[in-house]
Structures are given as structure tokens and as C-alpha cells.
Amino acid sequence: MGVPIFAHDANAQKKAGKLMIELTNISKTYAKSGTKAVDSLTLCIPDGAIFGFLGPNGAGKTTTIRIMTGAIEADSGSVLIDGIDLAKEPMEAKRRFGLVPDTPDLFSRLRAYEYLNFVADVYGVSASDRITVIEELAARFELSDALKSPIGSMSRGMRMKLNLIASLIHKPHNWILDEPIVGLDPHAAFALKELMRAHAASGGTVFFSTHVMEVAERICDKLAIINKGKLVFTGDLEGLRELRESRGRLSGQVPLVGAPGSKADLEESLEALFLALVEEGEQVPEEVSKL
């Protein structure tokens, strides 16, 4: 798309070494509730792709994102952002991603422009750069008229749009989004998908969580499915389709709906496979680990 927002310094990134997000053997148990939210999770999120992170409510998606962004500490395991260890060099690692949090109503007493300015100050963005990004993205998300408003006066969708702008203000290489589609109107959802595509096309990493299989199917290049803190699938859509077919042939666990091979059949059976994987929970089938 040639959007200037994504003109991040790819050469400098390449010189720095690996360009991806790597999570190795991450585990996290919440002290208060004793709940094991993430269990020995290992993920490699490549550059130049949109990576969907799927799972039902309470599966561990938000906890994983909070760990990979340094918001909470894992009990064990490591997180590398573009090859930089988040635990050892948190400041440097955090500069390399932009986060859209799952709760868009963080600073309701600030005005929208004050919030954007705060985030821009934190990342040390120059005046001209921040004005360019804000003007362009605010126009794209139809938020230009609301920048003077207190965040508390905005709808959930508008707050989400504001967070999307804030997350891109420093032109990050890695873009991490926690349930970004929730609350967005169709126009904004379309604009977001376009932005995600453009970001991946420019060589950046897009990692987003969702609990809706349909969303993942439409925009993901790669995906991972998590349930009860454990990874139950990782691969691409083709891999998921292969899994569907192999499981359908072997055990008939995944019901085939509609004419075999039709689009409706494929979509419904992928959804069904997602549900089946989630229901199986911790028992990861052998064929999944092979994929």
C-alpha cells in the first residue's frame, strides 16, 4: 500500500540481527488465584506476516501478550523481540513494538491528543513525525474531529482507534494487538485490516489475538491456537486444513458440513476444528505437534 507509517528502518533492524518475536518455554501462574494461565508456551512469530493468536476467553491470550510486552513477568522462559532479550534489555526491546491493549479505557481523564502526545514523548518521537502519523491515521480512522475530546467521552470503538494510532506513533517494527477488532465499526475494521496487511507487506511483524476464527481465517498468514494456557496448534491455514482433512479421514471427529471441498464446508469445518481443538484442551494430538 505504500503507507509512510511503516517506513521503519528495516536496514537497521537487519543489522541488529533476528527480526522476529520469539517466546521460549513461557509459563505463568497468577499468585493471587493460583491459576496457571500460560504453560510452557513456545512461539516464533516471523517477520512479514500477520500472525493470529486464537483461543477462547480465558485461554491465556492476554497473559501471553502481557508477558511478551513486559507488562507482567513470566515465572520461566524467555522473550526475544528482534533478538533482544526483554528481561535483560527491557527498554531497548520495548522500543521495538507498539501495543494495542485489550482495555482501551486506560486514561479516561486525558484528552485524546494529550494521550497521543504522552506516548510520543515516551518513545521520543519528533514533533514533525508525530504530527504526520497522527494526522494520517486520525483521518483514516475518522478520528480527526475527536482529538480534543476527553477519552472518557469517547465510545469504545473510538478509544480503540485512539489506541491503534498511539501504538503506531513511533513506527514500530512489531505491532502487537490484543483483541483489536472488538468494538470497531465495519469501516474502521476494514481500515485496520488494510493497515495490518501493509505493515506485514513492509516487512514488519503483526501479532494479534482474537477469539473469532472467522477473523483469523480472513487476515492471518499464520496462526496459533491456545487453550488453558497450552498451545494446541501452530502453523498456517493450509496446515489447519490438512489437519482437518486428516482428522476427518481418520476418526470423523470433525463433522463435514455441506458439499465436501466447498467453501462453506471449509469454513465451517475449520471453525469446528478450532472448537474441537479447544475442547480437547491439554491433550494435544500427535498430529498437531508434528505440524
Partner 1 sequence: MRSPFISLLSLSLKSVFAIHLPTKKELASPKVLLKTFGWIVLAVVLLADFGFMFAMMDIGMHDALAPFGMQSLMLMYATVTASVLVFLFAFITSLSFFSSAPNEALFLTMPFKPSWLLAARMATVYAIEAPIAFLVMSIAAGVYGIKNGPPFDFYMWMLLNALALPLVPLAVSYAALVPLVSASRWLRRKNTILYVGGFIGLALALGFNWYLQTMMARIEDPVLLRKLLIDNELNFADIANWWPPAWLTMTAIGNSSMPAAFAATLTNLALGTALAAAAATLFGRSYTKILANFGELAAVKGKIGKSQAQAVFAPRPVFISLVQRELHLMNREPMYFLNGPFVIVLLPVILAISLIAQGQQIQQALQQLRPLLDGQAGYLIPAGIGVFLASSTSIACTAFSRDAKAIYFLKSLPLEPRDIIAAKLVHALLFAALGIVFGVVGVGLLLGIRLVDIAVALVLAVLGAVALNICGLVIDTFWPRLSWENPMSALKRNPNTIIVILGTMGLVAGLGALSATLPFSKYSFALLYGTVFLAAGIGFGVLLFRKGSAFLRQMEP
Interaction pattern, residues 112-151, with partner 1; x per rule: CB under 8 A: -xx-xxxxxxxxxxxx--xx--xx--------xxxxxxx-
Name the residue nearer to partner 1 (CB basis): 154 or 191: 154
According to CB under 8 A, which residues from 222 to 281 bind partner 1? none
User: From the list 52, 55, 60, 101, which residue makes contact with partner 1 (rule: CB under 8 A)?
Assistant: 101
Count residues binding partner 1 (CB under 8 A): 51
**Contact range with partner 1 by CB under 8 A, out of 3-11, 49-57, 66-74, 268-276:** 66-74
d(C-alpha 77, C-alpha 197), whole Å: 30
Say if CB 271 and CB 213 are below 8 A apart: yes
By CB under 8 A, residue 75 contacts partner 1: no
Radius of gyration of the chain (CA): 19
Least distance in angstroms from the C-beta of 264 to partner 1: 35
According to CB under 8 A, which residues from 148 to 187 bind partner 1? 148-150, 152-154
248's enclosing H/E stretch is: helix 237-250
User: From the list 4, 7, 25, 30, which residue makes contact with partner 1 (rule: CB under 8 A)?
Assistant: 30
211, three cell numbers: 477469539
Least distance in angstroms from the C-beta of 10 to partner 1: 20
d(C-alpha 176, C-alpha 116), whole Å: 17
Say if CB 181 and CB 192 are below 8 A apart: yes
Say if CB 251 and CB 206 are below 8 A apart: no
d(C-alpha 278, C-alpha 254), whole Å: 13
Q: Which residue, among 239, 254, 175, 172, has the nearest Cα to 207 in the 3D structure?
A: 175
User: From the list 2, 11, 57, 109, which residue makes contact with partner 1 (rule: CB under 8 A)?
Assistant: 109
Name the residue nearer to partner 1 (CB basis): 15 or 32: 32
Name the residue nearer to partner 1 (CB basis): 36 or 241: 36
**Contact range with partner 1 by CB under 8 A, out of 90-98, 180-188, 235-243, 249-257:** 90-98
205's enclosing H/E stretch is: strand 205-210
